[in-house]
Amino acid sequence: MNMKLSFSTVRSISGLLVCLTIFLATSINAQDVTTESDFFEDAPLILTASRMSKPLMESPASVSVIDRQMIKAAGIRKLADIFRLVPGFIVGNLSGNTPIVTYQGQGAVFARQIQVLVDGRSVFIPSFGGVPWVNLPLLLEDIERVEVIRGPNAVTYGANAFLATINIITRHATEDLGARYSLTASDSTNPNVRDAYFRLGYHFDDIDWRLSIGTLKDDGFETVNDSRETDKLNFRLDYLANNNQFWTIQLGTSNTISGKGSPGSATNQERNEDATNSYLNINWEQVRISSSTSIRLTHTEQKVIDNYQPEPFSIGPISNVTTFIDFDRLSNRTDLEIIQTEEFDIFRIVYGTSFREDRVKSIYLLNSNDFHDIHISRLFTSMEWRFAQDWILDLGTTLEDSSITDQEYSPRLSLLHNLTENHMLRFVASRAKRNPILFEHSGLTIFSANGNIPGPGMTDFDMKIWQGNPNIVPEDLISYEIGLRSQYADSAISSDVKLFSYRITDYIDEASFNEAHPLLGTISVGTSENADGFRVNGLEASYNITPISDLDIKTGVSFVSIDTENSDIKESYPEASAFITAQYEWQSKHSISASYYYVDEMIWLHTPSNTTIPSINKLDLRYSHLLDESSETRIEIIGQNMLEDYIDSLQENINERVYLLRISGGF
């Protein structure tokens, strides 16, 4: 299946739907008298077991939830910065327009160990791996909450839900009726933030829709060519049919023009990259009192245009080399997923299947102008069994078959015991796989060039720099965790502490081999290989404290110890990281918050020189004043990086103090 969604197509469809909705809305008849039918007739099933979250106390894994209030309180502007509020998560910026997110370690620009979903749709890039954080067709204001499962979760989400899973959940369209806007600007010329957001939501009968548009602009770091200008559009329609069938149709697109390259570099010259990311998500769910069936079809397309002709340069003895560098790439992901849930008295069973097709076309990655496909099919099931009072057993497994790997299974066992009314102890053992991405498995990068060779003079030649490894096998992870989740003082204090240990084997690492070159002698060609494994042990804790009704404090810490000979891997795991955020509100109009983040010394993998990043101390402050209650007009002043400047990923990426002013309201 090859569907193409361009920005203009999505915009046209959205416009059409808006017009249709307004047209249909004219036929609404208001009902304004309460009748007996409001008491006794069938009503729609809106919240059912399958649509409600389990209490965190009974979660079979370590879960952190960041809701929109917390996102607001932390004064967050960039999507990736949300994850600073999760114990063990590390956020960096390879450049001002390339955020990096990892869990505990192994952080790289194309992180492949974390599964990221937006409303159940995987946004992992099939070509390079990683997540296009800046260019996701998702606006911060549309997010309802973010659930982060800290630990493997292949049982639910398949391969790549390896170290952690991020599930971003946007608001139901019915929660965003009317119009809302937000404008944000920074004080200084750098990063020169200019953001705008506008949303329109409408409702008639059993249909709700929301249209959101936004633009985000900034100049990034002062001395780096990393400005960006992103335009986003999102449309969501929720339709309730026959009281128990929920249709959700989402489509959106995002386009980013971002600065790339370094000044003075011969081959990585300064330029702009044009990236477009579009998607369609159709979800149907039929809910019954004790069961539900859902079918989701999603399609995502990521297109990057980034090609240029560098100035002539030299390679060894060859001078005056000219070439055309073509980083253009197009990747599609189409996913069909069917899930059934069944509830019995002491059992709850979830099972389903999914089929995925990833298609990648890229001269740079695959040395071909044809699509390369990967097909993945998956069967999964999990069962929750309350086999005794105060005991819950959660068992699950997934069986996955990919066209580039053998059949694999990833099981998980969780045993939960309610020690007292306020303390839940859990033991979790799980196994997960991380499939190689297409580039690691069958990538081939060859530059065709022309250069002046001593003797023959100007000659055409090829130069291979990467060759994937088709014999590579998936990374394997076996993890154990003991956790205690507690609630005290009528939930005014809650905590989650876990001790964990996991071992990764067949770690997929970058390597190189020597190859004879007709002109250059022996050259080094990059490849991937299964390297030695390593073990990671640690402790994570998080606390939510509400000492008085208007004061919220959330904090988390992570301590990690790694046992490996691989120094890069070892240094990619900071020994400690922590955050604390506190918000105080008074008179229902004023709110002040402070968020402090700490990360120990570390490196980001695959950065140009594996720069060691000194420990980071980051403090953000925010003051918010509600100007008008009825329209929720609010003014916010946000100060970021209020302590010393700090280096982020690379020496030249210096985070300086920034003040943001934001005005938002509705009508």
Partner 1 sequence: MKVNIKTVWISILSITLLVILIDSPASTDIKKTITIVKSSNNSYYNLTIDSLIERSPKDISFEVVLADSSHFNNLTLLKTNPVISLGSKATSRVLGKFSDQPVISSYITNNQLQSLSPTATNHFPVLLEQPFERYLAFSQKLLKLNSLGIINRQPQLLTRRQKIILTQLNLNLRQFQTDKPESLLRTIRQLKSQSDALLILPDQNLFNRNTLKGVLLTSYRNRIPVISYSPAHVKSGALASIYSSPEDIGHHLADLLSQYLRNKLKPGQTPQLARYFSISINSRVAYSLGLRLPKESDIRQFIDETLR
List contacts with partner 1 (CB under 8 A): 30-36, 38-49, 52-57, 144-145, 172, 174-175, 177-178, 203-205, 208, 240, 421, 487, 491, 550, 585, 588, 629-630, 632, 666
Instruction: Give the separation between CA 606 and CA 511, rounded to whole angstroms.
Output: 12
Altogether, the residues listed in the chain come to a count of: 667
Return the sign of the alpha-carbon dihedral for residues 11, 17, 23, 28: negative
The pair phi, psi for residue 377, each rounded to 5°, is -120, 150
Is the CB of residue 497 less than 8 Å from the CB of residue 474? no
Least distance to partner 1, CB of residue 173, Å:
9
Least distance to partner 1, CB of residue 342, Å:
14
Question: Which residue lies nearer to partner 1 by CB, 522 or 630?
Answer: 630
Least distance to partner 1, CB of residue 587, Å:
11
Question: Which residue lies nearer to partner 1 by CB, 19 or 43?
Answer: 43
Q: 58: which 2 tokens?
A: 């009974």
Is the CB of residue 50 less than 8 Å from the CB of residue 227? no
Is the CB of residue 68 less than 8 Å from the CB of residue 227? no
Least distance to partner 1, CB of residue 345, Å:
12
Matching residue, tokens 């909450």: 145
Question: Which residue lies nearer to partner 1 by CB, 56 or 446?
Answer: 56
Question: Which residue lies nearer to partner 1 by CB, 319 or 491?
Answer: 491
Least distance to partner 1, CB of residue 238, Å:
8
Least distance to partner 1, CB of residue 33, Å:
5
- Cβ of 368: how many Cβ atoms within 10 Å? 13
2 Cβ contact list (under 8 Å, min separation 6): 332, 359, 371
Matching residue, tokens 């548009």: 213
Is the CB of residue 415 less than 8 Å from the CB of residue 442? no
Question: Which residue lies nearer to partner 1 by CB, 67 or 656?
Answer: 67
Least distance to partner 1, CB of residue 250, Å:
16
User: Residue 470 to residues 125, 440, 633, 634: CA-CA distances in angstroms?
Assistant: 19, 8, 57, 55
Instruction: Give the separation between CA 504 and CA 478, rounded to whole angstroms.
Output: 7
Least distance to partner 1, CB of residue 206, Å:
8
Question: Which residue lies nearer to partner 1 by CB, 575 or 632?
Answer: 632
Question: Which residue lies nearer to partner 1 by CB, 207 or 428?
Answer: 207
Instruction: Give the separation between CA 623 and CA 628, rounded to whole angstroms.
Output: 16
Return the closest-CA partner of residue 154 out of 545, 518, 569, 478. 478
Least distance to partner 1, CB of residue 145, Å:
7
Three-state SS at 175: helix
In terms of DSSP H, where are the helices of 518-576?
Answer: 567-572
Question: Which residue lies nearer to partner 1 by CB, 320 or 491?
Answer: 491
Residue 313, H or E segment: strand 313-315
Return the closest-CA partner of residue 246 out of 199, 285, 294. 285
Question: Which residue lies nearer to partner 1 by CB, 49 or 499?
Answer: 49
Question: Which residue lies nearer to partner 1 by CB, 178 or 316?
Answer: 178
Least distance to partner 1, CB of residue 357, Å:
33
Instruction: Give the separation between CA 139 and CA 143, rounded to whole angstroms.
Output: 7
Q: 601: which 2 tokens?
A: 């010394």
Least distance to partner 1, CB of residue 647, Å:
39
Q: 305: which 2 tokens?
A: 């245009």
Amino acid letter at 466?
Answer: W
Question: Which residue lies nearer to partner 1 by CB, 2 or 53?
Answer: 53
Is the CB of residue 497 less than 8 Å from the CB of residue 540? yes
Question: Which residue lies nearer to partner 1 by CB, 204 or 623?
Answer: 204
Is the CB of residue 349 less than 8 Å from the CB of residue 382? yes
Least distance to partner 1, CB of residue 161, Å:
23
